[in-house]
Structure 1
Amino acid sequence: MNRFTLIFIPVIALVCVLLVAGCTTSSDQTNLTNTTPTSLQQFPSSYQMTIAQPDGSARFIHMDTDVYNIGEVVEFYITGESGKTLECSNDPPTYSVKFQAGRGVWATKMGKDTPDKTNKTYLGAGTSTQMYRFITTGWEPNRYRIVSDCGVSREFLLRPVPTPAPTVCPPAVNEPLWVRINPISDHDAGKPFSISGTTNRAVGDELKYLVFPSGMLPKNLVMGNDKPLSIRVSEGTCGENTWSVDLDLSTPQEYYLMISAGTQNATAIKRFMVL
């Protein structure tokens, strides 16, 4: 296999939308239209990579990327250009997908090796096919080639789904208990909201908390004189677990949330507004 160059250009997108768009059929070949389709703009991939192509005909086949993960949907369309009208053997044009089988041999993955010839169609400047789609679930990592009966082809790479890197936690150390409150924004009266935070208490441990107006004196949750409420700690990462309190306050004013991890020194308090 010849060496090739990958050029990485990040773009924002949603791959899951591509999968939803293509799961209803393994291929979709539709008629010609005089306008360039916008599906690639509606369903962009989460990345864009181009690879070196064997010849110049690849420019007629438009794809959002030349590199896909196994299971993703490949979308493409073909467009003619000024000074070069493409003659296609069928109406609508058909295509096949081939893969490298070794020693420079290309074998057919889908479609026909020699497509039937029916009514010819022509793609001139500004004339495009509608979108072709096929899903790559169950395919092998390899270099593939889309071959159109319009006399053009384009290659793409199919790679394994990347495995997320494992979370590497720092060595565990003995430390005093602590609890923290995440930043709290202002909220509208009568609309439910949540306040969350983190703690080094174990999953399932109980945290005590109170929500009170700013005019009241600070509370001592450890002594238990103020009848605090309680919540359970949820699992986080690397020993930094999480908690969350659901609130629904109907009186607009300034409030405080105080929460304790079990000792007076392991207590956090934060102000917020209900408007």
Structure 2
Amino acid sequence: MLQIDALPAFSDNYIWLLQDTDHKRCAVVDPGDAAPVMAWLEQHPGWVLSDILITHHHFDHVGGVAQLHEHTNAKVWGPALETIPARQVALNDADRIEVLGLEFQVMLVPGHTLGHIAFYHDDPSAPLLFCGDTLFAAGCGRLFEGSPEQMHQSLSRLAALPALTGVYCTHEYTLSNLRFAQAVEPTNADIAARVAQVTQWRAEGRISLPSSIGLELRTNPFLRVKETSVKEKADEWNSLDNDSPGAVFASLRSWKDTF
């Protein structure tokens, strides 16, 4: 049986902890800090950290990798196109790997960084996506290395996954992203309902994740670039006729950068 929990790190990061409760084995995704993982292992004697999954090279995602690998000898999986500390297995697009008895498909999703990858587990009843800083709840990552067109294509690929897919991104940005979503689509009732729900969750000290692909398709402006109302707002922002979904995305991303 698989259980997934979030280990908070820094001010707004989450390290995803995957637990095989039958065999007391676990894996972590993007441990930017080793301390929360080491603390969990100390509090759960008998558990073994078997795998470390990395989506991209930014320090808040890899800062704890070397220490964890040294202490636990966990296997480190990471993108082939980026430099990852202690990486043992370099992953390319369409690779398939097995972690905790589960098969994951590797998806190359450039944009935030050029070699960024995501991990997708295709379970018909409960598919899972660990997408790092590419797709956020109600938003997407900044373009530090890739182009708007690259990120648009990456997001389109993730948006095509089943609606039930659980979206496990790595930052608590949901409320600020939803405020931007409301500026783009002020009459979207799904966004308004999500704002109310997430506001309540955060007031109660609860995290806003995971999301789902279905929810993102209804409330995330970066996945809604083909909607007429979204295009109109994008056109208004940069005073252009953004004549393709990619151009609409680029306008929205530029707007969000200064929002």
Q: TM class by shorter-chain length?
A: under 0.3
Of Structure 1 and Structure 2, the greater strand share is in 1
**CA radius of gyration, larger in:** 1
Of Structure 1 and Structure 2, the greater helix share is in 2
Larger RCO: Structure 1 or Structure 2 (Cα < 8 Å, ≥ 6 residues apart)? 1
